[in-house]
Amino acid sequence: MSVRVTLNCQIKPKQLEVLLPFLEKNLPKVRGFNGCMNVTVYFDKDSSEMLLEEEWRSIEYHQTYIKHIDNNGILGDLAAFLASAPVIKYLQKAEI
């Protein structure tokens, strides 16, 4: 069963326009990473908030990806656009 991962990110003031090209360059790499099934990005421009909604085969696949981007510097590059660390949640689909 897959897992839904949400990352709520507060973007630094005046960084959205700079962040967009970074995302356009790097999102194909996320989507192509082993275990990633889907990534959707949402913005609330009024509050400078970004929501990354991702679907991964498992929490372990996502955590492997996070380690990978930490090791290659992409995580640090992303963090430079953010006012604080993202709030990450792992959600399992309820079979109700």
- Band (pLDDT 50/70/90 cuts) for residue 93 is confident
Compute the C-alpha angle 13/14/19, nearest 5°.
105
Q: In whole angstroms, what is the distance from residue 35 CA to residue 60 CA?
A: 9
Q: In whole angstroms, what is the distance from residue 14 CA to residue 52 CA?
A: 19
- Band (pLDDT 50/70/90 cuts) for residue 94 is confident
Question: What is the tally of structural domains in the chain?
Answer: 1
| Phi-psi map region of 92: left, alpha, beta (phi>0 left; psi -120 to 50 alpha) | beta
pLDDT tens sequence across 13-26: 999 999 999 999 99
Report the CATH number at residue 66.
Answer: 3.30.70.100
Tell me the residue range of the domain where 18 lies: 3-92
**53-79 mean pLDDT:** 97
Average pLDDT, the chain: 96
Q: Global pTM?
A: 0.91
